[in-house]
Amino acid sequence: DAGVIQSPRHEVTEMGQEVTLRCKPISGHNSLFWYRQTMMRGLELLIYFNNNVPIDDSGMPEDRFSAKMPNASFSTLKIQPSEPRDSAVYFCASSLSRRQGLPNEKLFFGSGTQLSVL
Partner 1 sequence: AQSVTQLDSHVSVSEGTPVLLRCNYSSSYSPSLFWYVQHPNKGLQLLLKYTSAATLVKGINGFEAEFKKSETSFHLTKPSAHMSDAAEYFCVVSEDQAGTALIFGKGTTLSVSS
- Let me know the angle formed at the C-alpha of 44 by 26 and 2, rounded to the nearest 5 degrees: 15
Least distance between partner 1 and beta carbon 82 (Å): 17
Residue 72 interacts with partner 1 (CB under 8 A)?
no
Which residues partner with 114 through β-bridges?
10, 89
Q: Is residue 25 near partner 1 by the rule CB under 8 A?
A: no
The reply on whether position 96 binds partner 1 by CB under 8 A is no
CB of 40 to partner 1, least distance (A): 9
Minimum separation from the CB atom of position 24 to partner 1 (A): 17
